[in-house]
Chains A and B, each alone.
Chain A
Amino acid sequence: GIQVEQSPPDLILQEGANSTLRCNFSDSVNNLQWFHQNPWGQLINLFYIPSGTKQNGRLSATTVATERYSLLYISSSQTTDSGVYFCAVERSNYKLTFGKGTLLTVNP
């Protein structure tokens, strides 16, 4: 099956810093989503981005489908950005395959 690799596995920042999270996938995909898992376990949708670039406030994402990677940018990070960020892909088989996540810690 398709492989999804996220990097870095852990990231520690000071409040106000910028960061880039990466997601590599091993085959072509029809769907790519970024999620933030809150402390209670719910996966919060950040971006649905099979290709191209999107922005939502301090967050933006870019997917280069031909090169099989996606990037999530967080600017001016805040302590509330802390948590685990997941990338998930789908290959038209009705299932999302997740990466292992990036644990982001933003210190005040």
Chain B
Amino acid sequence: KAGVTQTPRYLIKTRGQQVTLSCSPISGHRSVSWYQQTPGQGLQFLFEYFSETQRNKGNFPGRFSGRQFSNSRSEMNVSTLELGDSALYLCASSGGDFSTEAFFGQGTRLTVV
């Protein structure tokens, strides 16, 4: 069974631009969550979606947003990119109930220049 798929794998953007990242969960999984990994801050939670509803959100500015579609695929968007947004963005999928195992995709490495 296919794993979590993230696209694109690599991105280079200019300060001020916006970017959209995509995540397709494991078939049958209804929860998708997003994490940002940087050398300074480590792995930080961005948000989680289940059945198109955001159930939890991390401490990130409003420039970071996301959504989930009826087929459970999710996108996250970052507007007005800053140099500090350069990071590895990881998506995870799980069944959706409390405390079920999360599985991660390969990540999207975003570089802002």
* Cβ-defined partner of A42 (8 Å) among B56, B58, B101, B105: B105
Q: Is A35 an interface residue (CB 8 A)?
A: yes
Q: Binding site of B, secondary structure by majority: helix, strand, loop or mixed?
A: strand
Residue-wise, chain A 82-97 has the 8 Å CB interface mask toward B (1 for contact) of: 0000101010111111
Residue-wise, chain A 41-55 has the 8 Å CB interface mask toward B (1 for contact) of: 111010010100000
B56-A93 in contact (CB<8A): yes
Of listed B98, B99, B103, residue having the most chain A CB within 10 A: B99
B106-A96 in contact (CB<8A): no
Number of A-B contacts (CB under 8 A): 59
What is the chain B residue whose CB lies nearest that of A31?
B99
* Cβ-defined partner of A95 (8 Å) among B45, B88, B103: B45
Q: Specify which chain B residues have a CB less than 8 angstroms from the CB of A101 in the assembled complex.
A: 42
- Provide the bound-state CA to CA distance between A30 and B42, in Å: 22
Least Cβ–Cβ distance between B8 and chain A, in angstroms: 14
The interface size of chain B toward A, counting residues with CB under 8 Å, comes to 26
A92-B105 in contact (CB<8A): no
Q: Specify which chain B residues have a CB less than 8 angstroms from the CB of A90 in the assembled complex.
A: 99
B107-A42 in contact (CB<8A): yes
What is the interface of chain A, defined by CB distance below 8 A to chain B?
30-31, 33, 35, 40-43, 45, 48, 50, 86, 88, 90, 92-98, 100-101
